[in-house]
Chains A and B, each alone.
Chain A
Amino acid sequence: MPDLSPLASTPSRHQHTGQKSTQHRTRSASLVRGVIILCVMLALWQGLIYAFALPSFILPTPLSVLDRLVARYPILLDHTWVTAQEIILGLLLGLSMGLFFALQMLLFKPIKRWLLPVLIASQAIPVFAIAPVLMLWLDYGIASKVVMAAIIIFFPVTTCCYDGLRNTPRGFLDLAHTLQASRWQQLIHIQLPAALPALASGIRVAVVIAPIGAVAGEWVGSSAGLGYLMLQANARMMIDDMFAALLILSLLSVVLYFVTDFTLKRAIPWEH
């Protein structure tokens, strides 16, 4: 046996203590940055109202919006729950469909040849244009909004996932071959995990645009949800109510993005 001691003691890049304190510092810095951005935006908002003497039916003050948020808290929460359901279910449906089609295109070349042009062409139809058709087919309930959100994320998820699956590093496939992996084993143990970072990019895009699909669906026809609430408030000139709903919607999207991003970073630590 050769003397391994000098090699064995080669320092690992695993510097736990240093890493943790750096992470902590980065997290604190992000928090401070977030608070500063929020304060600046609120100040700008208030400043805009003062500078241009905007009436409250054009732009309500942050305080009046906060007041509405507190006063109409139970109603806002009910409608937020509806929109959140639409977004989450739309994401689940869109992601499953995207993964399914990406796998089909990878495994069956003729399907890819026929499906890819259809997928690309389908993007030429604006999703807002088909919203009324979806209302007609799926009624004014939650289903049409779920499908809207799913359709809007389907393309980016499918393309990201497909790109990830077909760009498995050549060396990994060579290794699997020399280890006598079957095609199925290669897919499960190599190609799918290797595609996760690309799929994660697709999911990040999806969580940002899925709320657009859900709210657009609510605008076209609905009886609940934040989009519905905004339309109703707008029609009654209750602009501060509209802004309260808009604020919650933005908050919902931001929270969804950061929770997803955090979860993906935890689940795919080799991503970066």
Chain B
Amino acid sequence: MKQTPLGLTIDNAGLRYPNVNQAILDKLSMQIPAGQWTCLLGRSGSGKTSLLRYLAGLLDSNVEWQGNVICSDGLALQQRIAYMAQQDLLLPWLSVVDNVCLSYRFNKQKITPEVTEKALALLDQVGLLAVRHALPQTLSGGMRQRVALARTLMQDKPFILMDEPFSALDAVTRHKLQQLSYTLLKDKTVILITHDPQEAVRLAGRLYILTGRPAQAEHIALPISRPPRDIDADSALVQQRIFHLLEQDYA
């Protein structure tokens, strides 16, 4: 059944690690539009990964969090997210298709022939049906990240949290994988953390830069063209502006 994409509002958020004086985030507000990619940029240590990990429920319970995270349907965010990290996190002891079906092992759902069929269909979509029985270590970096994408799609969650999933790939593979991910995740609400302004401008439906200490989110206006964007004069200007803001923040 096709789901209606959901949006997310982060309102007045603050985040502080225990025994650290300065907060990581303070009074941070963001609108994550439904069914689009929201890209987060920022210098290293700006708090973007902390924010993503908080949304994924991966931070320790003793982290101090303030503010509200509101889904557009009013329900809780927990258990409605899928997570893609910089590493593909494929389990080396499972075959490609078993990695794709991993979520079913944990949800008291049996891996029925229908489930396997769905996994194989997804592997076909990412162009990896031929290596379905291979172990992950026999695949290249780009292929492994495509398996991770199929695993994410298999979870079929409305929110996809991505922490630099393309950063370890070479330029051409990255470009192709961005295109593929954008196509396959078209009905999902995606939050992508990246260090690459070009990637952000290419994929973003909405773009924020986390600046300052503690960090606040600054909204950056994007070219009117629809993502995934080709490099043109408008997107080059936005990239230039991002570099300018990041340089200021690093100073």
Q: Which residues of A contact B (CB under 8 A)?
A: 1-2, 4-8, 10-14, 171-172, 174-182, 185, 189-190, 193, 196, 268-270
Contact = CB atoms under 8 A, between A and B. Distances in A.
B106 A182 contact: yes
22 contacts: A2-B180, A7-B127, A7-B173, A8-B127, A8-B130, A12-B134, A12-B138, A12-B139, A12-B143, A13-B139, A14-B134, A14-B138, A14-B139, A174-B53, A174-B58, A175-B85, A177-B58, A179-B102, A179-B103, A179-B107, A185-B105, A270-B135
Contacts, number: 91
A175 B106 CA distance: 11
A239 B122 CA distance: 70
B128 interface: yes
A268 B92 CA distance: 9
A178 B105 contact: no
A7 B176 contact: yes
Nearest to A5: B127
B89 A270 contact: no
B176 A6 contact: yes
How many B residues touch the partner, as a band? 35 or more
Nearest to A267: B93
For the complex of A and B, list the 3 residue pairs with the smallest distance between their C-beta atoms, beginning with the closest: A8-B127, A270-B92, A4-B127
A22 to B, nearest CB: 14
Contacts of B91: 172, 189-190, 193
A109 to B, nearest CB: 16
Contacts of B102: 175, 179
A270 B126 CA distance: 24
Contacts of A193: 91, 93
Contacts of A190: 91
Contacts of A189: 91, 105-106
Contacts of A268: 93
B131 interface: yes
A7 B177 CA distance: 9
A233 to B, nearest CB: 48
A8 B176 CA distance: 11
B125 A1 contact: yes
Contacts of B140: 10-13
Contacts of B146: 7
Interface in B167-183: 173, 176-177, 179-180, 183
B81 interface: yes
Contact of B81 (A1, A178, A185): A178
A16 to B, nearest CB: 10
Contacts of B106: 176, 179-182, 185, 189
B183 A2 contact: yes
B29 interface: no
Contact of B128 (A8, A180, A181, A185): A8
Contacts of A6: 176
B56 A174 contact: yes
Interface string B80-106: 011101010101110000000011011
Contact of A12 (B131, B176, B183): B131
B135 A269 contact: yes
Nearest to B105: A189
A172 B176 CA distance: 26
Contacts of A176: 106
B142 interface: yes
Given A172-B91, A270-B93, A179 B138 contact: no
Contact of A7 (B83, B139, B142): B142
Contact of B183 (A1, A10, A270): A1
